[in-house]
Structure 1
Amino acid sequence: MSPRPDTVTGLHAEPALARTQVAWDPLGFDPLIDHFRVYAVRGESAPEQPQESDLIAKTVYPHFAHADLDPAGETWTYTVLAVSDAGRRSDPCPPVTATSQPSVTATGREIAAIGTFDGRTLEHHLAPNSYATIPEEFPGAVIEYEQGTDDPAAAWPYLLPGPGDAWAGKTAYRARWTLTLEEAPQTDLDLAVWLVDTTRLGGILRVSANDEHVTDIELPLGSTRGSREGDATVPGSPLLRSFHEPALPAALLQAGPNVLEFELAEGGWAAWDAVGVFAREE
């Protein structure tokens, strides 16, 4: 009879924004492993024996991303067992508890935002699928948006094209957001950049404030469906959301008008969910 697989070791979890990455040590080849079964229970404890109702994934790899978690943060307890090619199961490994990283949209005070942080592009201009008219409406490849005056439905296209987009002239588009601060911030703020989808090219979204470089956001490889579909919260949606929340240094901001610029310097388009500036609550 084929031996049972060894118990999985090295289970650990790395919290991230709206997801938790779970990984463990790979097993050997005697017996051959058909797949791993990942179980998760909300909270800080789990039953001694995993319940099939708590199975969240089967994978051939020694890692799994528990995605689409609440941006406010969720606590889950994970355990993993291995299944051999003969169908024999290992004992479950010791559980590990982790809490996903909370978003500044949940922990901070909103100063300004374009759109709603809801996993949809639908409130933005030309959504969900009229991307082909963006080059006609913005022939200079520059989008200007003034907080308090403009509306996302009329002035903020749901896609920001990049040099990988032949339909947009293979141009690095820039979106310039002007917002007025009553006073210069004394401490750093946080910038929330939520995307509904990206292309399979990935890319680099370059962020600046008042013509000073803030950061380069590395865009993940997406599903390239967000140009035609606008709601990533639909069950079974193929859209691949991503969340980026870099610090916005106080030294780059001033009382009065400030210009935040987003330039898609490399790769293909990014589909906006929302962007926002948040103060850190003490």
Structure 2
Amino acid sequence: MALAPPHRAPRASALLPARASGDVRRISLTWQQPGSFDAASFTVHGQRVHKSPAPRLRPSEDHLLATVREPLFLHHGLAPQGERWEYLVQALDRAGAVQAASDAVEATSRTSVTVTGHPVATVGSFNGQGLELALSPSGFVRYQSVFPADVDFTHGRDRADTSWSYLQPGPDDAWAGRRGHRFRLRFWLDEQPEDDLDLALWLTDRHPVRAGAAGLLVNGRRLDPLIFADEVEPPETPAGGDVPGHGAGPAYIERSLRRGLFVAGENILEIVKDQGSWIAYDALGIFARTAPAF
């Protein structure tokens, strides 16, 4: 009589095509849903790569970064200097059995201009807290009385703890009058820069589903808007999400600004929150790519 073969745990029978890309202080990891079944969840495993070749990444509790339900993982909180990471994704059925897995993929987060650049005009400390800004950490309810005409800040003269609000409301915020709000940063250049400059705008928090966008202007010239939403947003506002401290968390926006936008003398950078709800600042700055000559 033939014996039944011994029982074995199911093996991952499908490959999950995955890709990773780096940005400032984060890496985005995406993959495709397996075609053979509907995955109930995905486990994301990762390890920081300090040297090449790195030890082989194996799924384990030590390497588990997250369990998610959608084919996207945003790895936040990486160092401003840039970090190299390796990832592996597994697709699980409703019983928690692995049905598909990705190959290991690597990506490096982008080095921040706050590391490579030379500060021209900054507000705040780029430390992930924003506590040195006005009204921080929870005085947003006094915004309209403290800043009835919004923020107009002159670098080198004004103090961040009194003249730059940590929170910028939007037209969706009833507690700030349901209108747009304009923040200005004024700074002086002895001459027009010889190279492009870089903007760094770091947030400690933003509304979880209505962070929206803001207009960006340099000396009156409107540029592409600043977008504060992640690739995937939560389907509904969490409890308390209409107020700071219960939002979607940090965001790091850095972009190049053409040298021709700037002039010798006073320059004005404006952030106009004319869409959506509030954002909470960590710091804001303009950086040069070469050290200024003295």
The two structures have a TM-score, normalised by structure 1, of 0.87
In the alignment, which of 216, 219, 236 is matched to residue 207 of structure 1?
216
Residues 123 and 160 of structure 2 are in contact (CA less than 8 Å); yes or no, is this contact kept in structure 1?
yes
Match of residue 35 from structure 1: 41
Q: Give me the whole-angstrom Cα distance separating, in 2, the residues matched to 1:91 and 1:161.
A: 44
* Correspondence list, 1:100-119, <5 A: 100-119=109-128
Structure 1 residues 92 and 46, CA gap change in structure 2 (3 angstroms): farther
Match of residue 26 from structure 1: 33
Residues 46 and 77 of structure 1 are in contact (CA less than 8 Å); yes or no, is this contact kept in structure 2?
no
Match of residue 243 from structure 1: 252
Equivalent position SS for 1:53: coil
Q: Offset of 1:238 from its aligned partner?
A: 6.1
Q: Offset of 1:62 from its aligned partner?
A: 2.4
In the alignment, which of 70, 73, 77 is matched to residue 86 of structure 2?
77
Structure 1 residues 139 and 91, CA gap change in structure 2 (3 angstroms): closer
In the alignment, which of 256, 280, 285 is matched to residue 271 of structure 1?
280
1:182 aligns with 2:190: yes
- Equivalenced residue count is 273
Q: Offset of 1:225 from its aligned partner?
A: 5.6
Amino acid at match of 2:48: R
Equivalent position SS for 1:171: coil
Match of residue 234 from structure 1: none
Q: Give me the whole-angstrom Cα distance separating, in 2, the residues matched to 1:272 and 1:66.
A: 20
Residues 5 and 33 of structure 1 are in contact (CA less than 8 Å); yes or no, is this contact kept in structure 2?
no
In the alignment, which of 15, 18, 42 is matched to residue 11 of structure 1?
18
Residues 182 and 270 of structure 2 are in contact (CA less than 8 Å); yes or no, is this contact kept in structure 1?
yes
1:256-280 Cα shifts (integer Å, max 9, x gaps): 1111111111111211110000112
Q: Give me the whole-angstrom Cα distance separating, in 2, the residues matched to 1:175 and 1:160.
A: 8
Q: Offset of 1:37 from its aligned partner?
A: 1.9
Q: Offset of 1:151 from its aligned partner?
A: 0.6
Residues 205 and 247 of structure 2 are in contact (CA less than 8 Å); yes or no, is this contact kept in structure 1?
no
**Structure 1 gap ranges (5+):** 230-236
1:3-42 Cα shifts (integer Å, max 9, x gaps): 5442433121121221111122211355x53432211111
Match of residue 65 from structure 1: 74
Residues 163 and 172 of structure 1 are in contact (CA less than 8 Å); yes or no, is this contact kept in structure 2?
yes
Amino acid at match of 2:137: P
Equivalent position SS for 2:157: coil
1:165 aligns with 2:173: yes
Amino acid at match of 1:211: G
Q: Offset of 1:128 from its aligned partner?
A: 1.0
Residues 197 and 225 of structure 1 are in contact (CA less than 8 Å); yes or no, is this contact kept in structure 2?
no
Structure 1 residues 155 and 76, CA gap change in structure 2 (3 angstroms): same
Residues 92 and 100 of structure 2 are in contact (CA less than 8 Å); yes or no, is this contact kept in structure 1?
no
Structure 1 residues 41 and 12, CA gap change in structure 2 (3 angstroms): same
Q: Give me the whole-angstrom Cα distance separating, in 2, the residues matched to 1:216 and 1:265.
A: 10
Equivalent position SS for 2:13: coil
Amino acid at match of 2:284: V
Match of residue 96 from structure 1: 105
**Structure 2 gap ranges (5+):** 1-6
Q: Give me the whole-angstrom Cα distance separating, in 1, the residues matched to 2:281 and 2:31.
A: 34
Q: Give me the whole-angstrom Cα distance separating, in 2, the residues matched to 1:262 and 1:37.
A: 38
Q: Percent identity?
A: 33
Q: Give me the whole-angstrom Cα distance separating, in 1, the residues matched to 2:155 and 2:242.
A: 25
Larger radius of gyration: 2
Amino acid at match of 1:278: F
Match of residue 3 from structure 2: none
> Which shows bigger deviation, 56-65 or 151-160?
56-65
The two structures have a TM-score, normalised by structure 2, of 0.84
Equivalent position SS for 2:98: coil
